[in-house]
Amino acid sequence: MLARTAEIVVWGAVLIGLTVVFIGTVSPVEMLVAGVAALGGAFVAQRMRLAAGVRVAGGRGAVRALVALAPAVLRGLAVLAAAVAAGPAGAGVRRVRMRRGAGAGWAGVLIAASPDTCVIDVPNDDEVIVHALRPESGPVEEAVSREEAVSRTDTAR
């Protein structure tokens, strides 16, 4: 019961935070409306997750991946700019196998946050297929993948 309540509180806080960010200056009435709407949205989000049978698991390596995210985005921007200017060198598709305990869902989101990578498939709970503009794996991929778990599937020509 405590976990379900905590989930609703977290969803509500995120939804209220988004409302405040998008609205800007918030009056007390707008804050009340945002709170009621966020509570309803949080309840529905939790019910949908339960109905789908999704459970939150596999957080191993998440902190390391989050720390590596900002440098990965900056590096990805540089690679993307170079690819636009001179053409992609070494671009291709590769399979990234997650380390034990890491979830492919959240890890795929973090990998895809870099401008030079795109997660094109999540075939299993422990792997993602990535299209990248660079041949080597990035910092987020290294944080969530097994050692020697990145394999090239195809290369761009």
Span 72-109, pLDDT tens digits: 889 889 988 988 888 877 889 999 998 888 888 888 88
pLDDT digits (tens, 9 = 90+) for 104-153: 888 888 898 888 899 999 898 888 999 999 888 888 888 888 765 555 55
Per the DSSP assignment, residues forming a β-bridge with 128 are 96
pTM of the entire predicted model: 0.60
What is the layout of strands, in order, in the sheet containing 117-124?
117-124, 127-132, 92-98, 145-155
Degrees, nearest 5: CA angle 115-127-87: 30
Q: How far apart are CA 14 and CA 18, in angstroms?
A: 6
Question: In whole angstroms, what is the distance from residue 48 CA to residue 102 CA?
Answer: 23
Taking residues 44-56, what's their average pLDDT? 79
Answer whether 67's CB lies under 8 Å from 98's CB.
Answer: no
For residues 71-86, one letter each, b for 16 or more C-beta atoms within 10 angstroms of the residue's C-beta and e for the rest, the string is ebbebbeebbeebeee
Which one, of 95, 89, 94, lies nearest residue 133 by Cα? 89
Mean pLDDT, range 23-32, rounded to an integer: 86
Tens-place pLDDT, residues 54-80: 666 677 778 888 888 888 889 889 988
